[in-house]
Structure 1
Amino acid sequence: MRLLPWAGADGKPCYLSTDDPGSLLSRLADDVEAAQLASAEQVLAGAKAVLGDSEAGERAVRFALTRAVESLGDVLRVAVSRSRGGDTR
């Protein structure tokens, strides 16, 4: 069972049961994971820039932290999936 990089409508984890790493859903999950990791890199760079700016206001810091928390959740889901053998590449 592969933990997918998105939650269901009820917020619960979604899983994929397949022996075909080339299936449509497997490839979609791979693409979503890649996009989440790339986004996390951008969010990290932006957060570092905000934290390095002594004139950054509360709004900028809150936005950067909010995005960092969202990205951390995505990256952790990818890590859990891959640690369970969900990385099909």
Structure 2
Amino acid sequence: MIEDQDGPLRLLPWTGAEGKRCYLVGDGTGYLSRVADSVEAVQLAMADELLAHAADMLTDHGATSAQLRFLAARLAEALCDVHRVAESRGARLAGP
């Protein structure tokens, strides 16, 4: 777990200005931690739904290249979100 002088840092599931990482200092029980938990849950659910949509689209031989490029872009975005969630949760599992 990453720590600073004020306590453990949690990687948040969103970015700040210019795409920079956002961190939260705290014990994980506050309001912003609950918001971050909710955002992570939404991101994971959206990635799951997107995977199901991708499976359907990839079996559709009528899908256009534009549709497949759009799908690939959304999958890449979802992968970035899921990677950030995994990194954040993994760091918290490591403990002090």
| TM-score clears 0.5 | yes
Q: How many residues are aligned here? A: 85
Q: How does 1:1-89 map onto structure 2 within 5 Å?
A: 1-19=9-27, 21-85=28-92
| Greater share of strand | 2
Sequence identity, in percent? 51
Unaligned runs of at least 5 residues, structure 2: 1-8
Q: Kindly state the Cα deviation for residue 55 of structure 1 after the two structures are TM-superposed.
A: 1.2
Question: Runs of 4 or more off by more than 4 Å in structure 1?
Answer: none
Unaligned runs of at least 5 residues, structure 1: none
Q: Kindly state the Cα deviation for residue 22 of structure 1 after the two structures are TM-superposed.
A: 2.3
CA deviation vs aligned residue, 1:2-46 (integer Å, no higher than 9, x gap): 000000022110000102x22110000000000000000011111
Give the aligned CA root-mean-square deviation in angstroms: 1.0
Larger radius of gyration: 2
CA deviation vs aligned residue, 1:33-68 (integer Å, no higher than 9, x gap): 000000000111111111111111111101111110
TM score, norm. by length of structure 2? 0.84
